[in-house]
Structure 1
Amino acid sequence: MAANHSSDHGSDTNHRIYNPYHNHDLPITAQYRYKLPTSPEFLFTEESLKKRRSWGENLTFYTGTGYLGGSVAGAAGGIVSGFRSFEFGDTAKLKLNRILNSSGQTGRAWGNRLGIVGLIYAAIESGVVSYTDRDDAWTSVVSGLGTGAVFRAARGVRSAAVASALGGIAAGAVVAGKHVFKRYVHI
């Protein structure tokens, strides 16, 4: 454990000294200690009581997760499609080219679709939370309903209604799965 020097504690009461290596028996010098502020991170206490991401963080998280998940799933489907497109007499180089082209094209298309779904979901969820000032399971279900309706609105009312119902069911299933996971899997 590194010793604290009197120069570290000076008359500055707005900062506390933090040493990330204090639990380890390492000969670390004072240069690796940090002065962290003691003031609260939030200006208002109401902000500190909310345990959720901001709308910008939600937007980034859902869009990025949707794009990544869609790209991986689409690439896997593209690999299968590439294997199915083999013809008799193809060389190994041509087979590899078919697999790479198919997985890249399908992965890109599915990634874009699911990224847009994540973007719409994040926008609707942030709007619902801002309007109702609540963040619960019903907020997620309403956001799923709205996401399905907006995503398929260009294909007609019937398609939008079906997609809305599927989006609400999917969002409800994810929320229920999250609660079950928290209850039975202790991490």
Structure 2
Amino acid sequence: MAYQSREHNDSTRRLYNPYKDLRPEYLFQEESLAQRRSWGENLTYYTGIGYLAGSSAGTARGFVSGVKSIEQTDTMKLRINRILNGSGHTGRKVGNRCGVIGLMYAALESGMMAIRDEDDIINSVVAGLGTGALYKAAAGPRSAAVAGAIGGVIVGIAVAGKQALKRYVPI
């Protein structure tokens, strides 16, 4: 009986983490106060994540369209060529678009932080709203307004979800 209870305690107990209570050391006190990436790191991060996610999704979409464009009379080399061309073309196109969206979002969010001198959800939502509006500005004011609203809502949901995960999911 004692063996079973010990086994039960081991399975419910977390593993020891020697780095749990350590915080990173900073050279200057001001660095320790800012728990956020710099604007340059932010710009690089959002642009890179946008390009990576967009090119991955675009490649998958291009792969499907390449497979659908295959004809029965095509040789194996031609079939592979159609798939690779579809994947590469669509992947680059969608990746570039998402990278530009990430670039605009990072610039607007950093600008909002500089203007307001606060780090809260309002900066993120306004940056999402502005990104959507700027991205579709050439299509007209109605399209820009709709895209801005969609961008603001998506960012609001993402930030609220991130806060809920931090609060309710133990790490």
TM range (shorter): 0.7 to 0.9
Counterpart Cα distance in 1 of 2:59 and 2:117? 39
Counterpart Cα distance in 1 of 2:32 and 2:167? 25
What is the aligned counterpart of 1:120 among 76, 80, 104? 104
Counterpart Cα distance in 2 of 1:52 and 1:154? 33
Counterpart of 2:27 in structure 1 is 41
- Structure 1: state its 5+ residue gaps: 1-22, 24-38
- Superposed displacement of residue 48, structure 1: 2.3
Kindly indicate whether residue 95 of structure 2 is the aligned counterpart of residue 111 of structure 1: yes
Letter of the 2:144 partner, please give it: A
Cα gap change, 1:40 to 1:185, in 2 (>3 Å): closer
List per-residue Cα deviations over 1:1-47 (Å, max 9, x = no partner): xxxxxxxxxxxxxxxxxxxxxx9xxxxxxxxxxxxxxx9522xx344
Of all paired residues, the percent bearing the same amino acid is 61
Cα gap change, 1:107 to 1:40, in 2 (>3 Å): closer
Kindly indicate whether residue 161 of structure 2 is the aligned counterpart of residue 167 of structure 1: no
Counterpart Cα distance in 2 of 1:92 and 1:180? 50
More helix by share: 2
Counterpart Cα distance in 2 of 1:181 and 1:90? 50
Counterpart Cα distance in 2 of 1:92 and 1:183? 53
What is the aligned counterpart of 2:74 among 90, 93, 112? 90
Letter of the 2:27 partner, please give it: E
Letter of the 1:153 partner, please give it: A
Counterpart of 1:176 in structure 2 is 160
Kindly indicate whether residue 50 of structure 2 is the aligned counterpart of residue 69 of structure 1: no
Greater Rg over alpha carbons, structure: 1
TM-score, structure 2 as length reference:
0.82
Aligned residues: 148
Counterpart Cα distance in 1 of 2:134 and 2:69? 35
Cα gap change, 1:144 to 1:40, in 2 (>3 Å): closer
TM-score, structure 1 as length reference:
0.75
Kindly indicate whether residue 141 of structure 2 is the aligned counterpart of residue 152 of structure 1: no
More strand by share: 1
C-alpha RMSD of the superposition: 1.5
Say which SS state the counterpart of residue 70 (structure 2) adopts.
Answer: coil
Counterpart Cα distance in 2 of 1:109 and 1:47? 38
List per-residue Cα deviations over 1:89-132 (Å, max 9, x = no partner): 11221111111000000000000000000000000000000111
Letter of the 1:98 partner, please give it: R
- Superposed displacement of residue 135, structure 1: 1.1
